[in-house]
Amino acid sequence: MNKSSKNDPPVSRRFFLKGVGTAGMACALATLSGCKDAGKPSGGEGWTPTQYNVPGTWPVQVRGRVPIDPNNPSIVRDDRKCILCGQCAEACERIQTVEGYYALPIKDDITCVNCGQCALWCPTGSISERDDIDKVQRVLADTNLHVIVQTAPATRIAIGEEFGMPAGSIVEGKMVAALKKLGFDRVFDTNFSADLTIMEEGTELVRRINNSGGEHHQKEGGHGHTPTALPQFTSCSPGWVKFCEYFYPDLLEHMSTCKSPQQMLGSVAKTYYAEKKGIDPRTIVSVAIMPCTAKKFEAARGEMNSAGAAAGQPELRDVDFVLTTRELGRMIKKNGIDLTTLQPEKYDSLMGESTGAGVIFAASGGVMEAAIRSGYYLLTHQNPPETLLELNAVRGLQGVKEAALEVPGVGELRVAVSHGLANARTLLDQIREDKQNGRPPRYHFIEFMACPGGCISGGGQPRTSVPPSDWVRQARIKSIYTIDAQIYKKRLSHENQEVQALYADFLGEPNGERAHQLLHTTYTDRSGQLTVKTKA
Amino acid sequence: MSKGVLVDLTKCFGCGACTVACKLWNEKKYDDVNKPTMGENAHLVDINWTVVSKHNVTDAAGKPAWRFIKEQCLHCVDPACASSCLVKALRRTPEGPVVYHPDLCVGCRYCMVACPFNIPKYEWEQSFPKVSKCQMCSTRIDNGEMPACVSVCPNQVMTFGERDDLLKEAHRHISANKQQYIDYVFGEKEVGGTAWMYISDQPFDKIGFKTTVPKESLPAFTWQILNKLPMILVGWTAILSGIYFFNKRRNAISESKQDSKGGPQA
């Protein structure tokens, strides 16, 4: 048996197998002992905001967020940025009284007035305007198209903030220069159509007052399409209009039938301007720069195709694209233009003349003030006294403002102004109650603006402070009234020569047949889209 | 006592805050293009532990309406996934959540086959995939907190509490609002009961619920067979051993008989 030699392996077969067996057993044991500890369950490595991390089922005051329809034309949300802080819901419910004012379950609509205040409040920018920059860049690149643009009153005192300038910087000329650099063929001013709005809305108000016949304000007017209900409501703020359509459809007869300045300029551009310049309206692309997200919704409303309908092409939109002030800021930056260094330029003629009455549309109370200036003229055929040009009672940030003024030959004209839709409810509930009890109207004319402070703090304005705060609003309002009092030469809408030329050459008279066709609109009762609830 | 969540589907307006809370708390990625968490195309997938799906329905007035359904693991009282798991990677905690432990998982995906509601998903795009599903924020519940999705809901669509209390509340609420609700609590009896329960004004099968599942616990079915296994094992052992010993003895006897005859014959 002694066969051992130099070739024998140093490890015997027995020893090797024993070793492998032992190691196997040890590993199996180790694995099994590992199973005793199940390890960490998956998930739970992240965080939620502090208000949600409390033991028990305590109520949380500010929670969740607003619902946003993915097809909302005005606002979109990027879930990746949402931190569930609850600010959007706070703004929607407490400032605008929309969320929480309809009963659940919902119908087939996510109730939204498109005001975009949630986008101003959102601390992470999760909610923003629907970005239409690419669409506008595409039409600008097409040389066959004639691209015109209009800029709202409130954009000229805010867009500078996007370029690091102090809140309320007046950059009207620089903005016009930037728009021309971007390649827009004509730059028009929404101030022009604000003056036009005053002519129409003022005339409508005078007719309502004349036709109301004292207490019988409900009776049908003599003029075919002139409503008679008093007070008359302004209709410039599309967020407010949709709010009224949702929650107060019974008061829609009070809504001025006038389109907003944006839509007036849109329909005039594709008729009057096209005719004057000999341009096929089909090749005109109408862009609007607005402080507002609801304007995107307004431009897309089915009935906003007057110019096309008049030309037998109902698919033609009066306004094709709406960009917010923030989008214009981004667009200018994307094109490598430094707004701050541009030489100021002027608006183009035909629809570029402004008055102070047009520019103050941007501030809460401004439409009222402008309307009073020209309404006074329409009623008395003479210009208002100096005192009426600084109507401080309707200026400022108080939620509901009232004024009463004596108009010779007419008597007392009582007006009210509200901004922020929660304040609108105060007035609307009062009017509803008065009507139900057969009381005469307290006011002749009421200005409603959806956003607190008016358009200067609209949902599409630069996010200079988040959430939006009054110091920014005050700075912008101050600039607006500075433009009115010190920069523009005229302060009365009816003195706008281009507006007068438009009437003389094309429209005829205010509230006339053609004006009605192009500048007036109808409203939709939206109360069927939700179950209205009075208290949140 | 085990916890549960009662979901009142009539109160949901589809803000999707719950889906964001889930992503925040569980650090799940977003993929709005391929794996949306909200809308008609929202489905539970590996990165979506909860979704809010949109359904077009007809409301009581006969008008078209939208209903939003908060979907996630229903956390069965007697979970089939856990009973099918070879390595106990899925376990139901006494508080109610059915929790997945990735360290134990061997990736066999039996749970995915076993689940009657098709909840567990697999991370198909990962090199070392795991199973993925809602944990009902078990670690938050351990701290006495509500699941993340429940805590953020602006409309209190979801109520967190003891399952038994919620069931009573659900029936009380339905009988108090008979004209509005379907008289049924989904999750009360489905597969033996689930921690998440739903009440609705729409028939459940019209809004994407799997109403065909049995009312008995699924592990109870298999248990009818499996509980006999020890008996079968012991019985077979006994029978086979008996046969073995019988044959052995018979052989031994026949050998000894031949020995006594004087050895084998040539």
What are B60-84's pLDDT values in tens digits?
889 999 999 999 999 999 999 999 9
pLDDT of residue A7: 72
| Cross-chain Cβ contact A64/B153 below 8 Å | yes
pLDDT of residue A39: 83
pLDDT at A62 over 90: no
Picking from A44, A52, A57, the nearest residue to B139 by CB comes out as: A44
Q: Averaged over B128-146, what is the pLDDT?
A: 95
| Cross-chain Cβ contact B27/A45 below 8 Å | yes
Picking from B63, B145, B146, the nearest residue to A107 by CB comes out as: B63
The alpha-carbon gap from B134 to the nearest alpha carbon of chain A, in Å, equals: 8
Question: ipTM of the assembly?
Answer: 0.88
| Cross-chain Cβ contact A84/B21 below 8 Å | yes
Q: Which of B6, B18, B25, B68 to mutate to test the interface with A (most CBs of A within 10 A)?
A: B25
The alpha-carbon gap from A60 to the nearest alpha carbon of chain B, in Å, equals: 8
Grade residue A38 by pLDDT with cuts at 50, 70 and 90. Answer: confident
| Cross-chain Cβ contact B20/A65 below 8 Å | yes
A41 chain-B contacts, CB cut-off 8 A: 99-101, 135, 138-139
The overall average pLDDT reported for chain A is 92
- Is A295 a catalytic site residue? yes
Report how far residue A213's alpha carbon sits from residue A86's, in angstroms, rounded to the nearest whole number.
Answer: 49
Report how far residue B197's alpha carbon sits from residue B167's, in angstroms, rounded to the nearest whole number.
Answer: 8
Q: Of A212, A235, A256, A354, which residue is the catalytic one?
A: A256
| Cross-chain Cβ contact B146/A57 below 8 Å | yes
Grade residue B265 by pLDDT with cuts at 50, 70 and 90. Answer: low
DSSP state of A456: G
The alpha-carbon gap from B184 to the nearest alpha carbon of chain A, in Å, equals: 18
Picking from B39, B103, B130, the nearest residue to A38 by CB comes out as: B103
| Cross-chain Cβ contact B130/A43 below 8 Å | no
The alpha-carbon gap from A63 to the nearest alpha carbon of chain B, in Å, equals: 5
pLDDT of residue B262: 59
Report how far residue A490's alpha carbon sits from residue A368's, in angstroms, rounded to the nearest whole number.
Answer: 17
Kindly state the percentage of chain A with pLDDT values over 90.
82
Report how far residue A131's alpha carbon sits from residue A148's, in angstroms, rounded to the nearest whole number.
Answer: 19
- Is A81 a catalytic site residue? no
| Cross-chain Cβ contact A108/B64 below 8 Å | yes
Q: How many helices (H) and strands (E) does chain B have?
A: 8, 10
Grade residue A222 by pLDDT with cuts at 50, 70 and 90. Answer: very low
- Is A433 a catalytic site residue? no
Q: Which of B8, B23, B24 to mutate to test the interface with A (most CBs of A within 10 A)?
A: B24
Contact, A87 vs A124, CB < 8 A?
A: no
**Taking CB atoms and an 8 Å cut-off, how many pairs form between chains A and B?**
149
pLDDT at B23 over 50: yes
Q: Averaged over A169-177, what is the pLDDT?
A: 96
Cα torsion angle, B41, B45, B48, B49, sign: positive
| Cross-chain Cβ contact B140/A66 below 8 Å | no
Say if A108 is an interface residue toward chain B (CB within 8 Å): yes
pLDDT of residue A212: 73
Residue B149: phi, psi to the nearest 5? Answer: -65, -40
B169 chain-A contacts, CB cut-off 8 A: none
Report how far residue A342's alpha carbon sits from residue A173's, in angstroms, rounded to the nearest whole number.
Answer: 9
pLDDT at A211 over 90: no
Q: Averaged over A42-63, what is the pLDDT?
A: 89
pLDDT of residue A4: 56
Q: Of A259, A295, A296, A401, which residue is the catalytic one?
A: A295
Q: Averaged over A292-304, what is the pLDDT?
A: 96
| Cross-chain Cβ contact A39/B26 below 8 Å | no
The alpha-carbon gap from B231 to the nearest alpha carbon of chain A, in Å, equals: 26
pLDDT of residue A220: 41
- Placement of tokens 């409040």 in the chain: A121
pLDDT at A409 over 50: yes
Say if A63 is an interface residue toward chain B (CB within 8 Å): yes
pLDDT of residue B178: 93
B154 chain-A contacts, CB cut-off 8 A: 63-65, 86, 89, 99
- Is A513 a catalytic site residue? no
Q: Please tell me whether the peptide bond between A231 and the residue prior to it is cis, using omega within 30 degrees of 0.
A: yes
Q: Which of B9, B15, B142 to mutate to test the interface with A (most CBs of A within 10 A)?
A: B15
Kindly state the percentage of chain B with pLDDT values over 90.
89
| Cross-chain Cβ contact A39/B132 below 8 Å | no
The lowest-confidence range among A54-58, B16-20, B82-86, B233-237 is A54-58
The overall average pLDDT reported for chain B is 93
Backbone conformation region of residue A491, classed left if phi is above 0, alpha if psi is from -120 to 50, else beta: alpha
Cα torsion angle, B133, B136, B140, B146, sign: positive
- Is A201 a catalytic site residue? yes
The alpha-carbon gap from B29 to the nearest alpha carbon of chain A, in Å, equals: 9
Grade residue A177 by pLDDT with cuts at 50, 70 and 90. Answer: very high
Q: Residue B151: how many CB atoms within 10 A of its CB?
A: 28
Q: How many angstroms separate the Cα of A304 from the Cα of each of A298, A317, A405, B241?
A: 8, 7, 35, 93
Picking from A47, A54, A65, the nearest residue to B17 by CB comes out as: A65
| Cross-chain Cβ contact B151/A108 below 8 Å | no
Q: Averaged over A453-471, what is the pLDDT?
A: 95
pLDDT at A170 over 70: yes
Q: Averaged over A143-166, what is the pLDDT?
A: 96
| Cross-chain Cβ contact B25/A48 below 8 Å | yes
Tokens of B241: 């051993």
pLDDT at A331 over 50: yes
Q: Averaged over B244-248, what is the pLDDT?
A: 95
pLDDT at A3 over 60: no
DSSP state of A448: E
Of all residues in chain B, the one with the smallest CA distance to A47 is B25
Contact, A158 vs A461, CB < 8 A?
A: yes
Say if A225 is an interface residue toward chain B (CB within 8 Å): no
Report the length, in residues, of chain A: 536
Report how far residue A263's alpha carbon sits from residue A258's, in angstroms, rounded to the nearest whole number.
Answer: 10
pLDDT at B266 over 60: no
Of all residues in chain A, the one with the smallest CA distance to B160 is A57
DSSP state of A198: H
- Is A345 a catalytic site residue? no
- Is A256 a catalytic site residue? yes
Q: Which of A72, A106, A527 to mutate to test the interface with B (most CBs of B within 10 A)?
A: A106
Q: How many angstroms separate the Cα of A300 from the Cα of each of A1, A304, B244?
A: 104, 7, 90
pLDDT of residue A518: 94
pLDDT digits (tens, 9 = 90+) for B176-212: 999 999 999 999 999 999 999 999 999 999 999 999 9
Give the E-state strand segments of A429-515 in sequence order: 445-449
| Cross-chain Cβ contact A79/B23 below 8 Å | yes
Q: Which helix (H) or strand (E) holds A203?
A: helix A190-212
The alpha-carbon gap from B242 to the nearest alpha carbon of chain A, in Å, equals: 32
The alpha-carbon gap from B227 to the nearest alpha carbon of chain A, in Å, equals: 24
Q: Of A303, A390, A433, A513, which residue is the catalytic one?
A: A303
Say if A35 is an interface residue toward chain B (CB within 8 Å): yes
pLDDT at A210 over 90: no
Picking from A43, A86, A89, the nearest residue to B26 by CB comes out as: A43
pLDDT of residue A223: 41
Q: Of A88, A236, A258, A292, which residue is the catalytic one?
A: A236
pLDDT of residue A388: 85
Contact, A467 vs A121, CB < 8 A?
A: yes
Q: Residue A286: how many CB atoms within 10 A of its CB?
A: 29
Contact, A173 vs A487, CB < 8 A?
A: no
Say if A214 is an interface residue toward chain B (CB within 8 Å): no
The lowest-confidence range among A418-427, A442-451, A472-481, B225-234 is B225-234
Q: Averaged over A140-156, what is the pLDDT?
A: 96
- Is A353 a catalytic site residue? no
The alpha-carbon gap from B55 to the nearest alpha carbon of chain A, in Å, equals: 10
